[in-house]
């Protein structure tokens, strides 16, 4: 079968090949078919998307110059040095601090959700017997206590095994 019988595919396989074929397609005149313009449009959209991602990453890295993460730089430097990571770029270290901060906050949020589910599941029966009067009764209704079981369940979702020591009851 000849290539004239099959339409051109709209999905390029490699980014480098799509850029070189795009320059070749723009120099060749269209042969009266609309299929030759579809790969060029797809490739230009892909190039525009890549340029947008590069600008977004560059803007984000510039924002890291001014950002001070919750994890201090000294702590980050210590643990990076301990694992053998050597880098002088402060923005990269802050990016790693930000990733660690996000990881810890996700685990804390998941543990909080486990604690809320646990208290709501047992709260209907346990709170009926509690007196509704007193100085701390309204505060106790909204207070959620995080237990090791809640934290272990949240860590298990991330593939981290956290168990109580054998001597802990």
For the chain of 169 residues, list the mean pLDDT of each consecutive stretch of 10. Answer: 43 40 45 58 84 84 85 93 92 91 95 91 56 54 84 92 73
Residue 154 to residue 112: CA distance in whole angstroms:
9
What pLDDT is attached to residue 137? 54
CA distances 122 to 1, 77, 108, 164, Å, are 71, 44, 21, 23
Q: Is the pTM of this model over 0.75?
A: no
Torsion region of 149: left, alpha or beta (phi above 0 gives left; psi -120 to 50 gives alpha): alpha
On the 0-12 / 13-18 / 19+ scale of CB atoms within 10 A, 112 is middle
CA distances 169 to 19, 31, 99, 156, 164, Å, are 65, 80, 34, 20, 8
């Amino acid at each position: 079968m000849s290539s004239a019988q099959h339409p051109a595919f709209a999905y390029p396989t490699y980014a480098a090949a799509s850029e070189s074929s795009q320059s070749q397609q723009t120099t060749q005149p269209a042969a009266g078919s609309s299929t030759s313009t579809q790969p060029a449009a797809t490739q230009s959209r892909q190039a525009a998307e890549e340029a947008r991602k590069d600008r977004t990453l560059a803007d984000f890295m510039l924002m890291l110059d001014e950002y001070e993460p919750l994890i201090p730089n000294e702590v980050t430097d210590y643990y990076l040095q301990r694992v053998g990571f050597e880098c002088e770029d402060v923005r990269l270290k802050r990016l790693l601090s930000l990733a660690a901060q996000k990881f810890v906050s996700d685990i804390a949020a998941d543990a909080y959700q486990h604690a809320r589910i646990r208290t709501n599941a047992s709260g209907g029966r346990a709170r009926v017997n509690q007196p509704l009067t007193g100085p701390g009764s309204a505060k106790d209704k909204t207070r959620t206590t995080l237990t090791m079981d809640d934290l272990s369940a949240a860590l298990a979702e991330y593939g981290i095994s956290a168990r109580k020591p054998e001597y802990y009851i």
